C-alpha cells in the first residue's frame, strides 16, 4: 500500500534526502568492494574449477634449457598508445589517483601490491611483474616462438599476465615457478595460481611435475 502523500514542497525535500542517502549507501558499498585488496586490476582469470580443468590439459615435461635466452628476445615495454608504454598503462590501470606527465610517466598515485599487501606512493617502488616470467616461458616452450610472439606475450594486457607489485618482492620471485615461489600474502595465492595456469594454458606452455603438483594443491583449496 502506498504511503501518505506529502505536500509538494515536502516531496521535493524528501526526494533530495532520499537521493543523498542512496548516494551515501553506494559510496559505502564502493569502499567495501573496492578497498586496497581490489585496487590492482589485471584481467580476471577463470574460476578455480575451470582452471583445474585447464591444468589437467597442460603438457607435463621437464623444463627446457636456458640456452639462447635473453630478455631482449621478449621486446618490452612497447608503445601502447601515444607516448604510453606497457609499463605506464599497467601503472595507471592498477593504481589509484595516478597522475602522469607529458611523457605518460606516472608522477604520483597509490599502488597496492596484492603479492605482499604493501601500499606505495612512488612508482619507482613498483615493478610490473610478468606472472609467468619470461625465462620461465622460455623454458616452457617460448624458445620456439617468433620474436613477434614473444613480444606479444611480454606485453599482454588482455590476460592476467601483468600486474603492478612491490619491486623487491618481484625481484625475490625472479623466474621461479609456483613450486619454488608463491606470493607472501597467502590470501592471494589462489588468485595467483589461477592467473598462472590461465596464462600457461592460453599460450600452450608446458609445466613440470613439481609445478603441476604445487598448482593442483593450491587450486584444490580455492
Q: Is the dihedral of CA 75, 162, 215, 205 positive or negative?
A: negative
Half-sphere exposure of 66 (CA within 13 A, CB side): 7
184 contacts 115 by C-beta, under 8 angstroms: yes
Q: What is the pLDDT of residue 41?
A: 77
On whether both 21 and 90 belong to a single domain, the answer is no
Q: Which residue has the cell 595516478?
A: 98
On whether both 28 and 45 belong to a single domain, the answer is no
On whether both 92 and 195 belong to a single domain, the answer is yes
Q: How far is CA 38 from the centre of its chain?
A: 10
On whether both 7 and 104 belong to a single domain, the answer is no
On whether both 23 and 80 belong to a single domain, the answer is no
User: Where in the sequence is the domain holding 12, given as residue range(s)?
Assistant: 1-33
Q: What is the pLDDT of residue 21?
A: 38
Q: What is the pLDDT of residue 39?
A: 52
On whether both 212 and 111 belong to a single domain, the answer is yes
On whether both 28 and 107 belong to a single domain, the answer is no
User: First and final CA of the chain: distance in angstroms?
Assistant: 46
On whether both 11 and 44 belong to a single domain, the answer is no
Mean pLDDT, consecutive 10-residue stretches, the chain (222 aa), reads 40 37 35 39 94 98 97 97 97 97 97 98 98 98 98 98 98 98 98 98 98 98 94
The CA-CA-CA angle for residues 107, 112, 114, to 5°, reads 140
On whether both 140 and 75 belong to a single domain, the answer is yes
Amino acid at each position: 500500500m502506498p504511503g501518505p502523500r506529502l505536500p509538494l514542497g515536502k516531496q521535493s525535500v524528501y526526494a533530495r534526502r532520499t537521493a543523498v542517502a542512496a548516494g551515501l549507501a553506494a559510496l559505502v558499498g564502493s569502499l567495501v568492494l573496492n578497498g586496497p585488496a581490489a585496487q590492482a586490476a589485471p584481467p580476471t582469470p577463470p574460476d578455480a574449477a575451470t582452471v583445474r580443468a585447464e591444468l589437467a590439459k597442460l603438457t607435463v615435461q621437464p623444463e627446457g634449457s636456458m640456452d639462447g635466452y635473453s630478455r631482449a628476445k621478449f621486446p618490452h615495454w612497447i608503445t601502447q598508445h601515444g607516448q604510453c608504454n606497457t609499463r605506464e598503462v599497467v601503472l595507471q590501470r592498477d593504481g589509484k589517483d595516478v597522475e602522469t606527465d607529458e611523457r605518460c610517466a606516472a608522477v604520483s598515485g597509490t599502488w597496492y601490491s596484492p603479492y605482499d599487501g604493501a601500499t606505495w606512493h612512488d612508482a619507482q617502488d613498483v615493478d610490473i611483474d610478468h606472472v609467468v616470467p619470461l625465462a620461465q616461458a622460455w623454458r616452457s616452450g617460448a624458445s620456439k616462438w617468433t620474436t613477434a610472439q614473444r613480444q606479444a606475450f611480454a606485453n599482454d594486457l588482455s590476460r592476467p599476465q601483468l600486474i603492478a607489485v612491490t619491486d623487491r618482492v618481484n625481484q625475490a620471485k625472479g623466474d621461479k615457478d609456483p613450486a619454488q615461489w608463491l606470493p607472501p600474502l597467502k590470501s592471494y595465492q589462489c588468485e595467483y595460481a589461477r592467473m598462472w595456469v590461465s596464462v600457461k594454458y592460453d599460450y600452450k606452455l608446458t609445466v613440470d611435475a613439481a609445478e603441476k603438483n604445487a598448482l593442483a594443491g593450491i587450486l584444490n583449496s580455492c
